[in-house]
Structures are given as C-alpha cells and as structure tokens.
Amino acid sequence: MDEIEIPSLDATRFDSILETDQAEEFATRLRAASSQLDGHTYWHINSTAAGGGVAEMLQSVLSYLRGGGINARWAVIEGDEEFFVVTKRIHNFLHGSKGDGGSLGEAERAAYELALGHQFKDLEALVQPGDVVVLHDPQTLGMAPHLRELGASVIWSCHVGTDEPNEFAHSAWEFLAPYARLAQRVVFSRRSYAWDLLDPTLVEVIAPCIDAFSPKNQRLTADVVAAVLDQSGVVPSGSSGPASFHRQNGDEAVVKARAVMLEEEPVPAGAKLVTQISRWDPLKDHLGVMVGFCEYVPESIDAHVVLVGPSPESVTDDPEGGDTLDELRKAWSQLPDASRERVHIACLPMDDLAENAAIVNALQRRSDVIIQKSLAEGFGLTVAEAMWKETPTVASAVGGIQEQIEDGVNGLLVDPHDLEQFGRAVSGLLEDPDRARELGRRAHISVRDHYLAPHYLARFLELAMSVS
C-alpha cells in the first residue's frame, strides 16, 4: 500500500467563482468538521493514484481539506493480477455488463479477501480508533470489516452502477453486500444506483466533482492552448508561445511530454475538432465514436476526431486497457483511406500527471465538440470538465451523464447505440456555432452550481461528522 502526498491548498480560492451563499456554506462546514475531527485522521482509500476519475478527484479535493485544518490522508492499495481481474469483473457487472463472462464465486471471494488482507496489514499500523475512512469503489470495500474492528468509522463510496440492474448487477451486489453492510454509510453518485439489498437508512447520494483550479480545469489563453497542443504533438501548429500551466500548488510549469499518436497525417491546424477523452475501456466505446463519426459526420464539414486515452500500461487497476486499445488500432487500420485521415488516436503520457492534465485541458478547450459516447457510465466527470470550459458536449443518455446534461439546454444527449443520431448531433453543432456557444455557456453555469469541489466536500464532511 502506498500513501500519496497531499499538499495544502487554500479553500477560499473558490470564493471568486462561487455564489456568495455557496462559498459561505462551504466555509461553515469546513470549520465545523475541522473542530469535530480534531485529533483524528480523515482517510480516503482507492486502488490507483492515476488514470481514473476517482484518482483525479482525490488528487485535488483532499488538498482543500488539509488547507482547512483537517488531517486528510490518501492511501492507494496494491494487488496482483488475479485481484484486479476479479475487481474489473465486479466493475463491469455493476454496470450491467458481462465483461469477461467470468463468475463471482468462492474462488473469486478468496482471491479478493486474500489480496485485501495483505493490504490491511499496512493500514493497521496507521488507522486509529475514531478515524474516519472513506473506501472508494469495489476494490477497497473488503477492508470494511477490519477497519470497523480497529474502531474506525467507515464510509463506502460506490462510483459505478446501472439504472436497469440485471443478473450481472445483482451478482455483484450479492458478492459485495456482506462488506457494504458493515459500512456506516454507503454513498452512490445517483439515487437509481442504490441497491435494494441495503438498508435505505445507510444510503446517501453525493455527486462527484471537479476542481476548477486544477491543471485540468484552470483557465488557459488561446496562445497557451495552441502551444501545449503543439508541444505534445496532438495538434501541431508551429506555435512559438510557452506551453505553460500552473501545478496544483501554484508553481508554473511547462509541458514537455509528447503523446504517442496513431494517424496518417497530423490534425490540420485550422480543422474543426471533435474529441473523446477517457480510459481505454470497452464501455467508453471509442470504436463506436470512430465508426459513427466516419459514417455520419460528412467530410464536407472539414472536421477531425481525436480519440484520447492514457498510456495503457500506466493504469494498473484495468487489465482490459491494452486489449481495448489494440482492437481500436486494428479497426482504424482497416478504415477507408479518406476516413482514416480524419481519425487520430492519442495516448497521453502519465509520467507527470499535471502535464497530462494540462494537455487534456488544452485539448478540451481547443475542441469544437466534446464527445462522451459511453455505453454505460458511473457519473462521467469528463462531461463536467468539458461543460466547465463551455465546450458544447454530445454524450450518451446513460448513467450520471443524465444528471449533468439537460438535452437541448446545456448539451445534447443521444442513444449510445444509434450511430446516425450521434453523427447528426455532432454535425449539427459543428454547423451551428451560435447554438453551440449557447449550450456551452449554460453548461458552465450548471457545473458552477452543482459540480465543483466545495459542493462535494461539504456533503462528505457532513457525512463524516455524522458517523464520527
């Protein structure tokens, strides 16, 4: 188990972008929690320090707790290949997907508990009675019984689910329920994700968030956007400006990393740009985006699509990433020449997470349309990120995306299986920039009011105080 260093950041920086009553509520909650949790540690534990929405969120939001006087700490568990095969299966099942088609029986439970038992030995020396521990997602939940024995208060946060539970979802629920029932609270990102196997009084609904000041979401000028994309090789433009951004602690830095690009020719500097950014996961449906774009976004619009994900070897808790990317590369190679020239696949380096985030930020700001055509989605923070930047967004009407986008008001929702509808939606926004700008403006306001870090932290602090 590794502990991730958390810097201390001043939470009052949000006062400049929140409504007055929102800022005052957050400050009040932070003061109360700091007093009540004084002398105790507020732990967050997940399965990876990089490569997923939970990790990205924790990288920034916990810093504001430390800045507010709370002893917040972050630990990341390790596991062997068998453990992550089991937890990826659980992840897919919770989405209602059969994944690798395997089972969740006694052998899988034994592998799951054995791996977490080894992890708990490290944590046992750190967690004290009275501490509050937030466990994130299925990978960590099995430690709940041990943590309760230590006298810690336990909250489990489940970031994935399905609106229409099937046999796979129920199988995952039954596997996890013995551990979930030992948590004092279970948090879901949507009400519809809550399981009927749990006591309703234990269930809370808290949407995740983004940090407006992180390298992924901070403001960038048009010149910096061009320079970052040129330096990274994603959209070469010959820009001579500085590819600069600010790290989480405020230090200025420069993007030096280069993406690994699969493309016939680089994206033309002036081309209209459609982008999807996510992990290489079958449920994100990069292949469907590629096919739908090539078949239903006319060449006459002069648009290119960029499919973006992390270097697959950098995401340790997702054994399917490499295979998914290989399938996408193969499909790309078989496209007709004219279509292949409009499709670009980008693997972004993860050696420096802040540089990676800055590249994503620049790409979301450079794009004319952002896509999130997931087949299933827990919440989909990439949607909130795009909306914050006022970039018009076309996304699937699945999971938590439906919480964020009101179709036709602050974005467009499509059936993830209807490629023609998807293509028409993208084409319509590319051909109607006035409508696209208005959707983007409304999207920004929606994120400000619902999905910034103070909203998330205030709710979780209230929860921590109720169980401590």
More confident residue, 240 or 410: 410
In a shared domain, residues 235 and 305? yes
* Cβ contact 429:369 at 8 Å: yes
Q: Between β-strands 72-76 and 42-46, what pairing exists: parallel, antiparallel or unpaired?
A: parallel
- The pTM score is 0.87
Answer whether residue 214 is part of any domain: no
* Cβ contact 414:422 at 8 Å: yes
User: Confidence band (pLDDT; 50, 70, 90) for 272?
Assistant: very high
Cα radius of gyration rounded to whole Å, the chain: 22
Most confident region among 13-17, 22-26, 57-61, 289-293 by mean pLDDT: 289-293
In a shared domain, residues 112 and 28? yes
In a shared domain, residues 32 and 102? yes
Say what the pLDDT of residue 313 is: 65
Answer whether residue 351 is part of any domain: yes
Look at residue 221 and tell me whether its pLDDT is greater than 70.
yes
Q: What is the mean pLDDT of residues 44-65?
A: 87
Residue type present at position 39: G
More confident residue, 402 or 316: 402
Cα(39)–Cα(130) distance, integer angstroms: 9
Say what the pLDDT of residue 60 is: 85
Q: Where are the alpha helices (DSSP H) in 42-143?
A: 53-67, 81-94, 106-124, 137-141
In a shared domain, residues 68 and 111? yes
Say what the pLDDT of residue 248 is: 85
Q: What is the mean pLDDT of residues 55-75?
A: 92
Q: pLDDT (tens digit, 9 = 90+) per residue, 80-121?
A: 999 999 999 999 999 999 999 999 999 999 999 999 998 888
Cα(240)–Cα(39) distance, integer angstroms: 51
More confident residue, 54 or 252: 252
Would you call 219 helix, strand, or coil by DSSP? Answer: coil
Share of the chain above pLDDT 90, in %: 86
Q: pLDDT (tens digit, 9 = 90+) per residue, 362-375?
A: 999 999 999 999 99
Look at residue 52 and tell me whether its pLDDT is greater than 80.
no
Q: pLDDT (tens digit, 9 = 90+) per residue, 333-387?
A: 999 999 999 999 999 998 898 999 999 999 999 999 999 999 988 889 899 999 9
Say what the pLDDT of residue 306 is: 98
Q: What is the mean pLDDT of residues 413-428?
A: 98
Look at residue 141 and tell me whether its pLDDT is greater than 70.
yes
Say what the pLDDT of residue 347 is: 95
Say what the pLDDT of residue 317 is: 52
Domain containing 316: what range?
A: 222-450
Cα(448)–Cα(210) distance, integer angstroms: 10
CATH code of the domain containing 94: 3.40.50.2000
In a shared domain, residues 181 and 302? no
Look at residue 136 and tell me whether its pLDDT is greater than 80.
yes
Q: What is the mean pLDDT of residues 268-287?
A: 94
In a shared domain, residues 29 and 178? yes
Answer whether residue 217 is part of any domain: no
* Cβ contact 44:62 at 8 Å: yes
Q: What is the mean pLDDT of residues 140-146?
A: 95
In a shared domain, residues 276 and 407? yes
Say what the pLDDT of residue 321 is: 78
Look at residue 11 and tell me whether its pLDDT is greater than 70.
yes
In a shared domain, residues 156 and 255? no
Answer whether residue 459 is part of any domain: yes
Say what the pLDDT of residue 59 is: 84
Cα(161)–Cα(209) distance, integer angstroms: 17
Q: What is the mean pLDDT of the chain?
A: 94
User: Confidence band (pLDDT; 50, 70, 90) for 316?
Assistant: low
In a shared domain, residues 205 and 244? no
DSSP one-letter string for 6-63: -----GGGGGGTS-HHHHHHHHHHHHHHHHHTTTS-EEEEES-SSSSHHHHHHHHHHH
In a shared domain, residues 424 and 456? no
Overall domain count for the chain: 2
Q: Which residues pair with 153 in a beta bridge?
A: 132
Answer whether residue 216 is part of any domain: no
In a shared domain, residues 231 and 125? no
User: Confidence band (pLDDT; 50, 70, 90) for 465?
Assistant: very high
* Cβ contact 293:414 at 8 Å: no
Look at residue 247 and tell me whether its pLDDT is greater than 60.
yes
Q: What is the mean pLDDT of residues 226-245?
A: 93
In a shared domain, residues 20 and 45? yes
Q: What is the mean pLDDT of residues 262-274?
A: 95
Say what the pLDDT of residue 304 is: 98
Would you call 369 helix, strand, or coil by DSSP? Answer: strand
Look at residue 446 and tell me whether its pLDDT is greater than 90.
yes
Answer whether residue 215 is part of any domain: no
- The position carrying tokens 């630990």 is 75
Share of the chain above pLDDT 70, in %: 98
